[in-house]
Homo-oligomer: A and B are copies of this chain.
Amino acid sequence: MSDIFRALADPTRRKVLELLRQRPMTAGELAGHFPVSRPTMSAHFTVLREADLIDSLKIGTTITYQLKLSVLEDALLGFARLFAAGAREPATDAAERIKPEQISRGAAE
């Protein structure tokens, strides 16, 4: 779980996943979309692979990466559901809810 969120914390890696959403792509093709070196991209692929978010297929000297969409969805939706289920409605439980005017350190400061 930590691995997945850590993988998603980097904009380059999120963009890689977005690119792979459309179709599998080779390491070189993916790297062409970013202004960083190949070794750096390779490290990003490793992080994504260790989070089980992508699969790889080696054909000759070329490696094709593929998004594991179900892993991503299961993780995100599963975690989101953990919070949606059993949570009170935002409008109710006014007594326990902190009112915006009372916030001393938050978006206001």
Contact = CB atoms under 8 A, between A and B. Distances in A.
A41 to B, nearest CB: 15
A45 to B, nearest CB: 10
Contacts of A82: 18, 21
A91 to B, nearest CB: 11
A11 B2 contact: yes
A75 B23 CA distance: 24
B80 A76 contact: yes
A102 to B, nearest CB: 5
Contacts of A58: 104-105
7 contacts: A18-B82, A23-B96, A49-B106, A55-B106, A66-B97, A69-B83, A76-B77
